[in-house]
C-alpha cells in the first residue's frame, strides 16, 4: 500500500501559507497571519511543529534544574483562529514542487512558506559532544539533564560554552545543586560582551554562587567522564552540558534555498529568501542583514521578524510591496539564578551602553521578559497591531544602498 498521501493546507483554491516551526518567531508569524486574514476565506494558514507544547527556551535552564514551568499549548493558543496546527517533524522541503515532507510521510503543499525551524546546540563543533554531552535543545533534553543532576550524589558538572546560555545554566545549576561542583568553560572570560562593570558584576555573582569560571579554555573533545582542552589537559566531569554555539537544521540547504556559511536562510530586506521569494525566513534559522551586520539569534529579534514576515505576506496578498525589516537590539538580560542577574542595555547594534541593571531588579526584569511572549501572542490574536512595536534601530539598522 502506498502510505504517502498529500494533505492540503486549506480548502479549494485558497492561498496556502505554511509556517514551519511554532517557536518564538514562527508562532508570532502564525498568530499574526491568522489575525490579519481572519475575514479572508481565500487564505489558509497552517503551522507545523514537532511539539504541541510551546518550548519556552528562555526557561530551559530552569527545567534542567527540576523547576516546574507552565505547559503552554500551541493548538489551544490557536483555538478561535482560522490557523490550523499540524504536529509533525519536518524532514524535507521541496522548494520546486512547493511541498513539505513530514516524518510520517504526510506531504503539505504551500503557496507561501515561513521557515522558522530555529536552531540547536552545535554538538558537531567538538568531537564527543553529540554522544556524551547534554544540551538545552528542548524540554525533553532539559528534563533528561534534570533527572541526571538529581541522581548525582556530589560530583562535577562542566558547562562548555560561556555565552548567555552557558552562564545562565551554570548559575542555575550551582544555585539549585550546591552539592555539585560547577565548572564553566569558554574561550574568553564570561561577560566580555557587557559593559566592563556589568561584566565584573556577572563574574562576581558566578563566584558567589560557587561556579568555577575558567576563561581562556578551548574545549577540543568530550569523552565519558572528562572534557579535553586545547592545552592538552582534561577536566573530570560527571556531567557535561554543551552550550558552545548553535547550528541550524540542514533542511533549508538541502532544499536548495540560498544559505549562509552556517546554513541559515539568506533573506532580502523584506525577509524573503533571496533564492526563493515565496519563502520567508525568520528567527534563528534566518540570516537577516541589518546595517550593523547579520542579526544573531535572539527571541527579542525573532518575534519581530515573525510579525514582519506576516505583515509582508498580507501586503503581498493585497498586491502591495512588502517593506524592509528593521530591528535594533535594546537589551541583553542574563539571569544568575532566581534572585540575581545582569541586564545590559544596548545600542541597536548590540554593543553595550553604559546603563545596566544588576541584582534583584535585574532578576525581576528578566522574569518579565521571559514571561511576556505568551500573553503577547494572546493579545495579537485580536489586536495584531499590538505586536508590531519594537525598536527599529534607526540609522544603524538601515542597509546601505537598500530600500528605505
Ligand X SMILES: Cc1cc2nc3c(=O)[nH]c(=O)nc-3n(C[C@H](O)[C@H](O)[C@H](O)COP(=O)(O)OP(=O)(O)OC[C@H]3O[C@@H](n4cnc5c(N)ncnc54)[C@H](O)[C@@H]3O)c2cc1C
Cβ 383 to ligand X shortest distance, Å: 21
Our CB check for ligand X shows the closer of 171 and 317 to be: 171
Among all chains, which residue has been given the C-alpha cell 514537532?
Answer: 50
- Binding window for ligand X (CB under 6 A); candidates: 42-50, 179-187, 272-280, 383-391: 42-50
Q: Should residue 343 be labelled a site residue for ligand X when binding is judged by CB under 6 A?
A: no
C-alpha cell at 182: 560547577
User: Smallest Cα–Cα separation from 60: which of 304, 246, 248?
Assistant: 246
Our CB check for ligand X shows the closer of 229 and 328 to be: 328
**Cα(271)–Cα(251) distance, integer angstroms:** 18
Burial class (CB in 10 A: 0-12, 13-18, 19+), 224: exposed
**Cα(123)–Cα(367) distance, integer angstroms:** 28
Q: Should residue 10 be labelled a site residue for ligand X when binding is judged by CB under 6 A?
A: no
208 Cβ partners below 8 Å, 6+ apart? none
**Cα(225)–Cα(227) distance, integer angstroms:** 7
Of the residues 284, 288, 311, 397, which one makes contact with ligand X according to CB under 6 A: 284
Q: Should residue 387 be labelled a site residue for ligand X when binding is judged by CB under 6 A?
A: no
Q: Should residue 283 be labelled a site residue for ligand X when binding is judged by CB under 6 A?
A: yes
- Binding window for ligand X (CB under 6 A); candidates: 16-24, 255-263, 317-325, 356-364: 16-24
Cβ 231 to ligand X shortest distance, Å: 28
Q: 19: which DSSP letter? A: E
Enumerate residues 248-277 that contact ligand X by CB under 6 A.
249
Of the residues 90, 167, 255, 357, which one makes contact with ligand X according to CB under 6 A: 90
Q: Should residue 311 be labelled a site residue for ligand X when binding is judged by CB under 6 A?
A: no
Cβ 318 to ligand X shortest distance, Å: 26
What 3-state DSSP class applies to 44? strand
Of the residues 16, 36, 61, 203, which one makes contact with ligand X according to CB under 6 A: 61
Distances in whole angstroms, Cα of residue 130 to Cα of each of 50, 77, 118: 21, 34, 18
Beta strands in 71-150 (DSSP E): 84-87, 90-94, 99-102, 106-109, 112-115, 119-121
Q: Should residue 86 be labelled a site residue for ligand X when binding is judged by CB under 6 A?
A: no
Of the residues 17, 18, 22, 209, which one makes contact with ligand X according to CB under 6 A: 22
401 Cβ partners below 8 Å, 6+ apart? none
Of the residues 263, 324, 333, 373, which one makes contact with ligand X according to CB under 6 A: 333
**Cα(302)–Cα(165) distance, integer angstroms:** 16
Q: Should residue 201 be labelled a site residue for ligand X when binding is judged by CB under 6 A?
A: no
Q: Should residue 287 be labelled a site residue for ligand X when binding is judged by CB under 6 A?
A: no
Of the residues 57, 98, 177, 398, which one makes contact with ligand X according to CB under 6 A: 57
Cβ 40 to ligand X shortest distance, Å: 25
Contact 87, 54 (CB under 8 A): no
Q: What is the DSSP string of 251-311?
A: HHHHTT--B-TTSPEEB-TTSBBSS-TTEEE-GGGEE-EETTEEPPP-HHHHHHHHHHHHH
Q: How many chain residues bind ligand X (CB under 6 A)?
A: 34
Cβ 57 to ligand X shortest distance, Å: 3
Q: Should residue 190 be labelled a site residue for ligand X when binding is judged by CB under 6 A?
A: no
Our CB check for ligand X shows the closer of 40 and 106 to be: 106
Cα 126 versus chain centre, distance = 21
**Cα(393)–Cα(152) distance, integer angstroms:** 47
Cβ 404 to ligand X shortest distance, Å: 27
Which residues bind to ligand X, rule: CB under 6 A?
Answer: 21-26, 48-51, 55, 57-58, 60-61, 89-90, 116-118, 136, 164-165, 168, 249, 283-285, 297-300, 302, 333
Amino acid at each position: 500500500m502506498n502510505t504517502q498521501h498529500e494533505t492540503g493546507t486549506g480548502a479549494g483554491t485558497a492561498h496556502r501559507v505554511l509556517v514551519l516551526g511554532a517557536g518564538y518567531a514562527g508562532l508570532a508569524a502564525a498568530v499574526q497571519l491568522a489575525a490579519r486574514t481572519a475575514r479572508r476565506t481565500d487564505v489558509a494558514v497552517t503551522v507545523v511543529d514537532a511539539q504541541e507544547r510551546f518550548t519556552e527556551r528562555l526557561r530551559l535552564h530552569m527545567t534542567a534544574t527540576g523547576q516546574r514551568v507552565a505547559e503552554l499549548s500551541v493548538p489551544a493558543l490557536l483555538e478561535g483562529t482560522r490557523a490550523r496546527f499540524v504536529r509533525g517533524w519536518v524532514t524535507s522541503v521541496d522548494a520546486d514542487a512547493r511541498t513539505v515532507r513530514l516524518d510520517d510521510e504526510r506531504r503539505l503543499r504551500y503557496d507561501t512558506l515561513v521557515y522558522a525551524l530555529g536552531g540547536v546546540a552545535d554538538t558537531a563543533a567538538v568531537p564527543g559532544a553529540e554522544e556524551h554531552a547534554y544540551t538545552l535543545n528542548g524540554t525533553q533534553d532539559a528534563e533528561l539533564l534534570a533527572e541526571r543532576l538529581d541522581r548525582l550524589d556530589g560530583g562535577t558538572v562542566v558547562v562548555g560554552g560561556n555565552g548567555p546560555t552557558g552562564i545562565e545554566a551554570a548559575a542555575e545549576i550551582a544555585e539549585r545543586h550546591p552539592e555539585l561542583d560547577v565548572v564553566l568553560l569558554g574561550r574568553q572570560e564570561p561577560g566580555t560582551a557587557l559593559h566592563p562593570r556589568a561584566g565584573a558584576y556577572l563574574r562576581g555573582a558566578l563566584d558567589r554562587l560557587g561556579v568555577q569560571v575558567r576563561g581562556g579554555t578551548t574545549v577540543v573533545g568530550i569523552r565519558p567522564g572528562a572534557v579535553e582542552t586545547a592545552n592538552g589537559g582534561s577536566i573530570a566531569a560527571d556531567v557535561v552540558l554543551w552550550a558552545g554555539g548553535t547550528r541550524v537544521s540542514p533542511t533549508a540547504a538541502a532544499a536548495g534555498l540560498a544559505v549562509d556559511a552556517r546554513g541559515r536562510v539568506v533573506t532580502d530586506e523584506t525577509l524573503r529568501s533571496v533564492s526563493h521569494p515565496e519563502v520567508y525566513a525568520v528567527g534563528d534559522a534566518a540570516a537577516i542583514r541589518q546595517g550593523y551586520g547579520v542579526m544573531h539569534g535572539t527571541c527579542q529579534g525573532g518575534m519581530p521578524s515573525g510579525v514582519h514576515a506576516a505583515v509582508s505576506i498580507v501586503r503581498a496578498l493585497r498586491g502591495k510591496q512588502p517593506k524592509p525589516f528593521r530591528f535594533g537590539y535594546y537589551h541583553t538580560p542574563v539571569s544568575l539564578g532566581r534572585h540575581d542577574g545582569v541586564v545590559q542595555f544596548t545600542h541597536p547594534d548590540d554593543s553595550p551602553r553604559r546603563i545596566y541593571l544588576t541584582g534583584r531588579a535585574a532578576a525581576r526584569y528578566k522574569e518579565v521578559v521571559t514571561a511576556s511572549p505568551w500573553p503577547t501572542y494572546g493579545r495579537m490574536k485580536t489586536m495584531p497591531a499590538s505586536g508590531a512595536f519594537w525598536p527599529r534601530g534607526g540609522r544603524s539598522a538601515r542597509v546601505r544602498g537598500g530600500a528605505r
